[in-house]
A and B are shown apart, each in its own frame.
Chain A
């Protein structure tokens, strides 16, 4: 289908419909992946026995009810929302920093969030002072840790943003700086490990490898709300964000306030990353892989690119969650380990593909 046979507007409308079709296809796959995830796990409970508990919770077998509503469903849904959050963060970091290698994990933002969360958990250091009403309810709800993670993630994002504004800083220089940030925050995490009690050390290991085991309905609600708020902000700015793909000068010439857009966008990506990381720990590469697949399918028009990235992120992490339970029987593998094994070759191939493009 090219513009030579049909008019450009007709061809454009056709491609818009194609893009919408991708959203539906991946959306259905996410639901199927989620059901597959629910069907996996210890306890020999099949999907056929679990599903009635989903449709008719009161009439269901009590064991199936508890396993579905207390364990498997929160975990399966958490995989979906964390995947979506990390993919949205990655997609927008790539857009805002005009850098295809950007992702919360590769640029050290996840590591920074882990340190922030670790400070709260290990040293009980909360950025919200105990006496500061009315925000103390955040600490009480366990969200003080999330706020810590957010402040650290935002700091890392702002360091990257400032570096990117320096003359001569190209795509790969920024990635090297991100790796340096990752080392720095991992070193801080090492210090925390050193001073941590044995119980706290166990929790820290959870941060470093990623796990959905601490999923709960309230956390699911909080992360969903963060996705919704950031999604609305990104949606309202969709044309400006798309214009950034034309380059900063062109975007500014089109009337986009690039500085303000980047700040708002990085606030949102830091919030998405921090909330996801503070709930499930560090899970790498979802934010890199999902937006790249989305871009190949629908291009960089934000109206299609962002939701498709989110759905692909949800699909990838949901499948990872299933793999983590089923690869070795009765052993739950850490999520971050699996995403790194899949994502790292992808990251390397992207770097190699960019040979010669960076100054």
Chain B
């Protein structure tokens, strides 16, 4: 049985289907802890987005999902959304909504009013994510990378217990890839949030994640620390690549270099 006072997200025996197709098949017991960044890895079609959507309550599930000991399927959509900040893989391009207004909107839907404290909270986040110069622009006017940073802010502005981001760095340049992940790790640590990030960049995952879940064709292949999970043999099995994995002793960041496809 799931522990009543368990901290963080727990998954047990989870299966998810889209229509008649089963995408995730009986994921065993998995836990993402508060204060840690968990990287969700796997090749295209592994089921990463499906898993995040299922946790967010956007897809029907079989099995158990609980956050801090509370079963998620017992919560209403509003209650669940108040606890979970989810950033989908592709955000819509054309909304004629201003950046700052979009953050206030996310807060309003969590039951906050447009009072001074709320405005100040949004302002702090805008400053922290260096979005201030964009605050009065409309979402439709932003570049892909800028939109992605705003979407991260939208997920965070509600101060969720669980923050899930689906490939948040895919449209970002190298500077923002690093700074967003550093910032997410800090966010997890300082605010004791559960942060789960689906990533394609294995080096970024090795560098920033405390924990890794590796999926392949809808099944869990491995979970544990990046060092335990990201081995050349496993990358060969899951990604069909020959890779060199470096864990320097001098404290410099790890590197996973794909040598060639098999």
Is A301 in contact with chain B by the CB < 8 A criterion? yes
Instruction: Give the complex CA separation of A245 and B100 in angstroms.
Output: 15
Instruction: Give the complex CA separation of A11 and B138 in angstroms.
Output: 13
Instruction: Give the complex CA separation of A252 and B126 in angstroms.
Output: 23
Is B25 in contact with chain A by the CB < 8 A criterion? no
Out of B82, B105, B126, which one reaches A8, CB within 8 Å?
B126
Residues from chain A with Cβ under 8 Å of B123 in the complex: 7-9
Is A240 in contact with chain B by the CB < 8 A criterion? yes
Q: Is the CB of A299 within 8 A of B97?
A: yes
Is B242 in contact with chain A by the CB < 8 A criterion? no
Q: Is the CB of B135 within 8 A of A8?
A: yes
Known A253-B56, A301-B101; judge A11-B136 contact (CB<8 A): yes
Instruction: Give the complex CA separation of A257 and B97 in angstroms.
Output: 20
Closest to B133 in A: A4
List A residues 47-61 near B (Cβ within 8 Å). Answer: none
Is B81 in contact with chain A by the CB < 8 A criterion? yes
- Report the minimum CB–CB distance from A257 to chain B (whole Å): 6
Per-residue CB proximity of B200-241 to A under 8 Å, as 1/0? 000000000000000000000000000000000000000000
Out of A4, A11, A100, A243, which one reaches B105, CB within 8 Å?
A243
Residues from chain B with Cβ under 8 Å of A257 in the complex: 77
Instruction: Give the complex CA separation of A100 and B94 in angstroms.
Output: 10
Is B108 in contact with chain A by the CB < 8 A criterion? yes
List A residues 114-133 near B (Cβ within 8 Å). Answer: none
Interface size on B, residues (CB 8 A): 46
Which among B60-68, B84-92, B191-199 touches the partner chain?
B84-92
Is B169 in contact with chain A by the CB < 8 A criterion? no
Residues from chain A with Cβ under 8 Å of B86 in the complex: 253
Instruction: Give the complex CA separation of A7 and B58 in angstroms.
Output: 36
Per-residue CB proximity of B89-129 to A under 8 Å, as 1/0? 00110111110111011101110000000011011001000
List A residues 289-315 near B (Cβ within 8 Å). Answer: 295, 299-301
Q: Is the CB of B58 within 8 A of A253?
A: yes
Is A329 in contact with chain B by the CB < 8 A criterion? no
Q: Is the CB of B100 within 8 A of A8?
A: yes
Residues from chain B with Cβ under 8 Å of A295 in the complex: 96
Per-residue CB proximity of A98-114 to B under 8 Å, as 1/0? 00100000000000000
Tell me the total A-B contact number using a CB cutoff of 8 A: 111
Q: Is the CB of B92 within 8 A of A246?
A: yes
Is B255 in contact with chain A by the CB < 8 A criterion? no
Instruction: Give the complex CA separation of A299 and B80 in angstroms.
Output: 29
Residues from chain B with Cβ under 8 Å of A256 in the complex: 77, 109
Is A202 in contact with chain B by the CB < 8 A criterion? no
Per-residue CB proximity of A1-45 to B under 8 Å, as 1/0? 111100111011001000000000000000000000000000000
Chain B contact residues, majority secondary structure: helix
Is A247 in contact with chain B by the CB < 8 A criterion? yes
Q: Is the CB of B136 within 8 A of A9?
A: no
Residues from chain B with Cβ under 8 Å of A239 in the complex: 105, 108-109
Q: Is the CB of B109 within 8 A of A240?
A: yes
- Report the minimum CB–CB distance from B165 to chain A (whole Å): 11
- Report the minimum CB–CB distance from B25 to chain A (whole Å): 23
Known A7-B123, A239-B109, A255-B77; judge A245-B95 contact (CB<8 A): yes
Instruction: Give the complex CA separation of A240 and B106 in angstroms.
Output: 10
Q: Is the CB of B81 within 8 A of A255?
A: yes
Q: Is the CB of A11 within 8 A of B100?
A: yes
Is A250 in contact with chain B by the CB < 8 A criterion? yes
Q: Is the CB of A253 within 8 A of B81?
A: yes
Instruction: Give the complex CA separation of A250 and B56 in angstroms.
Output: 11
Out of A9, A250, A254, which one reaches B120, CB within 8 Å?
A9
Known A1-B136, A253-B56, A299-B138; judge A15-B98 contact (CB<8 A): yes
- Report the minimum CB–CB distance from B58 to chain A (whole Å): 5
Q: Is the CB of A247 within 8 A of B92?
A: yes
Residues from chain B with Cβ under 8 Å of A254 in the complex: 81, 105-106, 109, 154
Out of A2, A12, A300, which one reaches B133, CB within 8 Å?
A2
Residues from chain A with Cβ under 8 Å of B91 in the complex: 246-247, 250
- Report the minimum CB–CB distance from B242 to chain A (whole Å): 36
Is B134 in contact with chain A by the CB < 8 A criterion? yes
- Report the minimum CB–CB distance from A226 to chain B (whole Å): 27
Instruction: Give the complex CA separation of A337 and B262 in angstroms.
Output: 66
Is A249 in contact with chain B by the CB < 8 A criterion? yes
Out of B58, B109, B132, which one reaches A3, CB within 8 Å?
B132
Residues from chain A with Cβ under 8 Å of B244 in the complex: none
Instruction: Give the complex CA separation of A338 and B135 in angstroms.
Output: 41
Residues from chain A with Cβ under 8 Å of B100 in the complex: 3, 8-9, 11-12
Closest to A167 in B: B19
Q: Is the CB of B80 within 8 A of A255?
A: yes
Is A242 in contact with chain B by the CB < 8 A criterion? yes
A-B interface, 7 closest residue pairs, ranked by CB to CB distance from nearest? A255-B81, A247-B92, A8-B135, A3-B135, A9-B119, A253-B86, A255-B78
Q: Can you offer 30 A-B residue contacts whose CB atoms are under 8 A?
A: A2-B133, A3-B100, A4-B133, A8-B100, A8-B135, A8-B136, A9-B119, A9-B120, A11-B100, A12-B101, A100-B94, A245-B92, A245-B96, A245-B97, A246-B91, A246-B154, A247-B92, A249-B53, A250-B88, A253-B58, A253-B84, A254-B81, A254-B154, A255-B78, A255-B79, A257-B77, A299-B96, A299-B98, A299-B138, A301-B101
Known pairs A2-B133, A253-B86 / 18 extra A-B pairs, C-beta < 8 Å: A1-B136, A3-B100, A3-B133, A4-B133, A11-B136, A12-B104, A243-B105, A246-B95, A253-B85, A253-B87, A254-B106, A254-B109, A255-B78, A255-B109, A256-B109, A300-B95, A300-B97, A301-B105
